[in-house]
Structure 1
């Protein structure tokens, strides 16, 4: 099953798998790096991002935690995910 992109900002793609395993998380990719990021804390759980990208992802995740949690629930039951605004959206 494809992994939809739910946000894109400053060259960072945010994606979420359908029916993925707990804990609630998403994937961030940037410039050849990929990380599994906790929805609850915005911290990298697995993988690696450059420091600046990791900081931006954490800032974004904490600002959009409710929307990420909603998408996590949607993904678990395989319903379409909702696009979330990036840090560079006005």
Structure 2
């Protein structure tokens, strides 16, 4: 996840930050909401990435 100058690696299953840093407002307000809505798609893209396949687009948070 990259937002402005902030960057972090987030676990798809637990939605916890594995590496990097995001401000609490951004992390809780934007990232978690989006990831919860698209968790299945994130899992599918992770499997594609592990197979060096092109990723599917995931809709942004509106």
TM norm structure 2: 0.89
Unaligned 5+ runs, structure 2? none
Q: How many residues align?
A: 61
More helix per residue: 1 or 2? 2
User: How much is the aligned-residue C-alpha RMSD, in angstroms?
Assistant: 0.9
Question: Which portions of structure 1, spanning 4 or more consecutive aligned residues, are displaced by more than 4 angstroms?
Answer: none
More strand per residue: 1 or 2? 1
Unaligned 5+ runs, structure 1? 1-27
Match of 2:48 in 1: 74
TM norm structure 1: 0.63
